[in-house]
Amino acid sequence: MLKKYLAIYRYMFIRSLQFRTELAIYVVLDVLPFFVLLFMWQAAFAGKDVINGFTLPQITQYYFLVMFIERVTSSYFENWRSTEIREGKIDYFLTRPFSYINEILSKDLGGKVVSLLISIPGLLAAMVLMSLIIPVEPLTITAIHATVFAGFLILGYFMQFCIALWIVLLTFWFEGSAGLEHFKWISVTLFSGAMIPIEFTPEWLQKIYAVLPLKYIFAVPINYIQGNILLTPRLGLEVFFSFLLMVGITKILWSKAVYRYSSAGG
Amino acid sequence: MRMMEYRTDFVFWLVVSLMWTGFNYFFISLIFGKSTNVYGWSYDELLIVLSLFTMIDALTWSVFYNNMIEYTNAVFNGELSKHLLRPVNTIFVLTTQKISYNNVPRFIIGLIVLVSTAIKLDVSVSLFDLLLVTLLFICGMVFIYSGWFILATLSLWVEKLQNINDIMPGFRQVYQVPRQVYTGITAFTFTFIFPIALITSLPGEVITGKNPPLSLILYFIGATTGMALLAKAFFAYSIRKYSSVGG
């Protein structure tokens, strides 16, 4: 059962190696906005030691963690997958014992592993260089913290995968996906804690943030590894049920979407 | 007409474009909203720079992005010949094929915030200042265009770089804030080596009466001219490497 998807994973792993230069460029492009952002914070902290309980080195640490989580958990397959659906090229997966969703996951995982192998060293090097310019609070973590954090990263990846998949599946109704893709970026950035520590946001945003599960991608893991929160059974259950909910929505969307699909020719 | 092919997506693009604009203003307000002075800039003055950024960014995405994509795709697919054979300037044809209108509301919002903030700040802008701001704004556009075109022309030298058109937009955050925000080697890099921080900062300084040094204004105009000439020369040199496919 798993063997066929493993073959896809291996294929994508090898194929992704062709795009090494692109990956290196993406690392630089991912880091640059944060680099500018840290200068903005440095300017905001001019003449102040603490803003909303944060010092500048703590803010830098926060964004370093955001950068790391973003690189590990993000999924960007919406554009070409939506085109694939729009052009009626997924017949293959509907007529054979082959799950389209699992195929997307296998390929994305294959590409992700190569992407991480190439980009994480680059990202760490960029962080070291940035820390020479802007002060950063050192992070001390235990093995348990690191393990739980790794668990959060895996969960974050699957959550981001689900959201990206929703965009792809909505193509069955909306035809194009580019606008939806940006809508996803804004929503995730705004409601996950990736944009700014939640303490800096207004009350209305904090209320939305509290309800949505997006916080488990960035804000909760960061707060956990910084030692601001503990992994309680309640938190564990909340995370688990949020994930189940996202998987459930994906399954419902797929089951509805597949009936809307039509293609012509061979 | 092409954009109306996927109407829902077009409407979504409009909404998203407005959301990005709101997002940028909101984000700046979260960071600087409580600051009274950021390296000599008040929060309202920062809004002037952000509005100039919004307007330039809207034009960038409307005019440059699709055309640069078409250009690099034509190179990678070997279809550049049809443009080279036309009896008009190839660079002009390559960069005016497609214009998108879904960022127009962004431009208008940027302009409205710019004007309303200028009125709120009670800034007095002379005709000369207005002309200078317009000139610097155009220079900013030309600078981005030239830099982007040079990068897109690199597609004639490399096998296939999918994200070659993401590099120049990747630098856009740099000119979202005034040049004074950057310090040390970064300030030197973004002011003199690759003067991208001047794109919105200089016109912003003129509007807010901060009187930017004349030498810096002349330097930016010179750098933009140099960049445009370099883009043209690089294209003329690189096109020799191009080989088409089929007929």
Positions of chain B with pLDDT under 50: 247
How far is Cα A182 from Cα B21, in angstroms, rounded to an integer? 12
- Shortest CA distance to B64 belongs to which of B134, B178, B132, B143? B143
Give A-chain residues touching B184 at CB under 8 angstroms.
133
Amino acid at A7: A
Q: Is residue B169 part of a domain?
A: yes
- Give the B window 122-161 contacts with A, CB below 8 Å: 158, 161
Q: Report pLDDT for A264.
A: 65
A15 or A221, greater pLDDT: A221
Q: How many C-beta atoms surround the C-beta of residue B152 within 10 A?
A: 25
- Give the A window 33-72 contacts with B, CB below 8 Å: 33, 35-37, 39-44, 46, 51
pLDDT tens-digit readout, B153-191: 988 887 667 778 888 888 999 999 999 999 999 999 999
> CA torsion A225→A67→A189→A52, rounded to 10°?
60
Which ipTM did the prediction report? 0.85
pLDDT tens-digit readout, A80-94: 888 888 777 777 777
Q: Is residue B247 part of a domain?
A: no
**What's the gap in Å between the CA of B35 and the closest CA on chain A?**
7
Q: Which of A22, A44, A178 sits opposite B9 (nearest CB)?
A: A178
How far is Cα A106 from Cα A109, in angstroms, rounded to an integer? 5
- pTM exceeds 0.90, yes or no: no
Q: Is residue B246 part of a domain?
A: no
**What's the gap in Å between the CA of B88 and the closest CA on chain A?**
33
**What's the gap in Å between the CA of B113 and the closest CA on chain A?**
21
Domain of B98 in residue numbering reads as: 3-241
Q: Is residue B14 part of a domain?
A: yes
pLDDT at A205 over 80: yes
A17 pLDDT band, cuts 50/70/90, is low
Q: Which of A44, A133, A176 sits opposite B186 (nearest CB)?
A: A133
Quick check: A180 contacting B, CB < 8 Å?
A: yes
A64 pLDDT band, cuts 50/70/90, is very high
Q: Report pLDDT for B78.
A: 79
The structural domain count of chain B equals 1
Q: Report pLDDT for A244.
A: 93
